[in-house]
Structure 1
Amino acid sequence: MKELERTKRISISTVVFILILVIGVLTFKMPTNVYRKTKAETFAMLKTQEYLVAHADIDQTNSVLIDIRDKFDYSINHLENALNIPTSEILNANSISLFNELRDQGKTAILYGKNPDEANSAYMLLYQLGYDNIKILNGTTHLVNTEFQVKNHDLEKPIPNYMDIFKQVESDEAAPVEKVAPPPPKKVIAVKKKKKRKPEGGC
């Protein structure tokens, strides 16, 4: 009798386990966004600086300006004909569909913010997703007397080799740490308190 109950339990748990597997397989969805670039490809691209474009060199017919600042900053002022896609919304379905459409049309999306560093996050996300038609505006944007102006941004040259920096940090962490002897304890000198003199009485 006990063996029969045990067999029933095993068969029930096996059926439940198989059902869970089948449901998992049927409901599994591939992630919407998958990185297509390796770290090596990304580092090689960063060395070239080809992802930067000066404001004067923008091809107006084959380029679309994307303002990655928040909606408030965009509403105050922005570059003419620029679309607003904040960095926080760069992977939304509508944004991805726009970037796909621009790629299919052979157009370049030029991202800009207050400076090139602000556009870096959005650019890196899109580049690693496989969008090769993305560039960053190499300029700083300012609002001067209600006029939105772009000033060329000077980059430091040469660009540092990040791989060498990472290797140096790792070697520094692996190096043995020299032990420093603690300083000798300070001597405490007791100071005797002076006795208060009793007031002299007089009469």
Structure 2
Amino acid sequence: MSGGDAMSNPEMLGVKVPDSSIARDITQLVCDTESDMLFQHSRRVFYWGAMIGQRMGLKFDPELLYAAAMFHDIGITPRYHESQLRFEVDGANAARDFLRGRGIAAADVEKVWLAIALHTTPGIPEHMHPEIRLVQAGAGMDMTGRGYEDFTEEERAAVLTACPRGHDFARDVIDTFYDGLKHRPASTFGTFNDDFLAAKDPAFRRGNLCTIILGSPWH
């Protein structure tokens, strides 16, 4: 991806990436770290999330939403292929360190950290700050089409024109997540991330909480 493509900032039906030095630095950092597939996915998560937020009348900080959306999958990149943490925590920590280094208020840093850390945890983000809720909503729309029919054909076309999905996004993203998780299978316990391992590795066995309870030292 060229630097010019990465730094472009189209307005999407009333939604635009914040035009600040922090947002531009985030764009360049993520562009330099992620594959084009993940980079474009992260941008789409911002647009979907912001459009959902506008439609719902939520009051959110576009810069915080952008930071969380752009960092939300950075923990799955090769930079973290030695980590044993949940990839969401790696991404949340990366965003926290970046924002702290630019003097962002602690409360705002915490919102971004939680938005990233919880974006794969169903049933909780929608009860928290709008930025947290909207990152999960945007990711769900882009990964699985959750809320697809809530967007018009014009809205979907506009986002995909600005942030192309690629000819085989589904298989590419599954392969990317498998590569980022296969060395830390224990980190997927209790999440749906173990689906990536189960899909790609016939030898993978999911953890089972009932088995763990019955086999614990208490029994």
Task: Report which structure shows greater RCO (CA 8 Å, sep ≥6).
Answer: 2
Identify, as 1 or 2, the structure richer in strand.
1
TM-score, scaled relative to structure 1: 0.20
Identify, as 1 or 2, the structure richer in helix.
2
TM-score, scaled relative to structure 2: 0.19
